[in-house]
Amino acid sequence: MTYEKTINYLYQVAPLFQQNGAGAYKPGLQTTETLDAHFKHPHRCYKTIHVAGTNGKGSVSHTLAAVLQAAGMKVGLYTSPHLMDFRERIRVNGEMIPEKRVIDFVEQERSFFEPLYPSFFELTTALAFEWFAEMSVDVAVIEVGLGGRLDCTNIITPEVSIITNISLDHTDLLGHSLKEIAKEKAGIIKKGVPVVIGEAVSETRPVFEKTAAEMGAPLYFAEEEKPIISNAMTEDSLMRYETRDFGVLLSELVGDCQQKNAATILTALKHLSLPVAQKDVAAGFRHVTSMTGLMGRWQTLQTSPCVVCDTGHNVGGWQYLSQRLERIADSPETDLHIVFGMVGDKDISGVLSMLPHRAQYYFCQASVKRALPAAEMRKRAAQFGLRGEAFDSVSEAYQVALEVAHDTSFVFVGGSSFVVADLLVFLRDSGVFGITV
């Protein structure tokens, strides 16, 4: 079986949330525990860090992995979703799991797992935990797939648990209030394991406090610890942080939301019983994308015109993205072009209400079943005073935007991870900008 056929098999045999949404969600840990026992509990062979939250958990996970890697550790990194290649989900020191190992896993284990009817994420998690054990990693950073309490990553006992923030997302599965969603996320809190909360509000803080007290877990709020003294952009477009415990750090992740993420990371490092020096933290912040393969976080793809993509896909993420785009739209020297699409199970009206009016829109439809048709997106956007044309694909919308844009224009591509994924695949296959994974 080729790698391509193997991946297609996984997509077909196991329901994939990335493509199908709630219909692919399989709550509960029974199948995960069966798979885990079959592989002899591989996650017990190494230390782990568990990262949950509505937004920011990808950036936090990748940066933590980069810091630990800089400290000389062999680091596993498990994240989702992938953008261009399934293997992005499973990395060791930034290197993706080999295609052959994915093929072998399916060929050797399918007779065992097929009768279980596992979800795609359950199978992927089992493969990741097994691969990290085979590679003898020192520590693995594990990002929660969805929620926390019933997420199949929740069989681990980590060195520290991290919950970045809570906002209304996946409400059909996790609850219709911040309090309900916080209860699901708080499900990753383990007995006696330190827990770091990146951002809390009046509805969520009591949930974290109650759960941590019940579990005897030391609880730390990044907003109270205030690990960052000041921050500012440098002339070469880096974020400069003056910190209380780790000196001056330069970060290549510069979206507005990254200041919250940085505070969360620094708080976690302070309470993490692993040997990390200031120089390691500095290296991890400065080189996170090259060390871990992180993509799609206010990622600059070209400079003339400036093209940036971002995977922010819900109201919580757009609280930061909209502010930045408004500043760009307000600039008299720059005209703003936005290639935009979303999936149908998000709070589309909530996001549309936050988008800048002073922009030309190119509404598009990503190549997943969950994607909202571009014509419908255009219709809904018009209700919020947003004007533009509809396109059947991300690549078509992007190419038209580039044709219209001038050298001093700013082109933003986003609204969904899948819009960014389609763009990056298009650029890679076109041989543009050297986009690789």
> What CA–CA distance (Å, rounded) separates 188 from 195?
9
Q: What is the pTM of this model?
A: 0.91
Structure tokens at 32: 């995960």
CATH of the domain spanning 3-292: 3.40.1190.10
Q: State the DSSP H helix or E strand holding residue 48, giving kind and residue range, or none if neither.
A: strand 47-52
Residue 316's pLDDT is what? 81
Average pLDDT for 218-242 = 95
- Let me know if domain 299-430 sits in CATH 3.20.20.330: no
Q: What three-state secondary structure class fits 237? A: coil
> What CA–CA distance (Å, rounded) separates 1 from 195?
43
Which among 318, 369, 319, 363 has a CA at the least distance from the CA of 343? 369
Residue 257's pLDDT is what? 84
Q: Is the pLDDT of residue 427 over 60?
A: yes
Sort residue 94 into left (φ over 0), alpha (ψ -120 to 50) or beta: left
7-11, 51-55, 178-182, 212-216: which is most confident: 212-216
Contacts of 30 (CB under 8 A, 6+ apart): none
CATH 3.90.190.20 residue ranges for the chain? 299-430
Contact 66, 177 (CB under 8 A): no
CATH 3.40.1190.10 residue ranges for the chain? 3-292
Residue 176's pLDDT is what? 63
Q: Output the CA–CA distances (angstroms, integers) from residue 268 to 24, 150, 191, 263, 319, in the order listed.
A: 32, 23, 17, 9, 24
Burial class (CB in 10 A: 0-12, 13-18, 19+), 209: middle
Residue 346's pLDDT is what? 83
Per residue in 131-171, pLDDT (tens digit) is 999 999 999 999 999 878 889 999 999 999 999 998 765 44
Distance from the Cα of residue 231 to its chain's centroid = 23
Contacts of 81 (CB under 8 A, 6+ apart): 18, 89, 417, 421
Which among 220, 224, 160, 169 has a CA at the least distance from the CA of 189? 160
Does 393 or 181 have the greater pLDDT score? 393
CB neighbours of residue 172 within 10 Å? 10
* Start-to-end CA span in the chain (Å): 23
Contact 262, 251 (CB under 8 A): yes
Per residue in 323-354, pLDDT (tens digit) is 999 999 999 889 999 999 999 888 899 999 99
Per residue in 85-97, pLDDT (tens digit) is 999 999 999 999 9
> What CA–CA distance (Å, rounded) separates 329 from 183?
38
Residue 13's pLDDT is what? 79
Q: Is the pLDDT of residue 389 over 60?
A: yes
Which among 191, 199, 245, 246 has a CA at the least distance from the CA of 221? 199
Average pLDDT for 279-304 = 95
Q: Is the pLDDT of residue 58 over 80?
A: yes
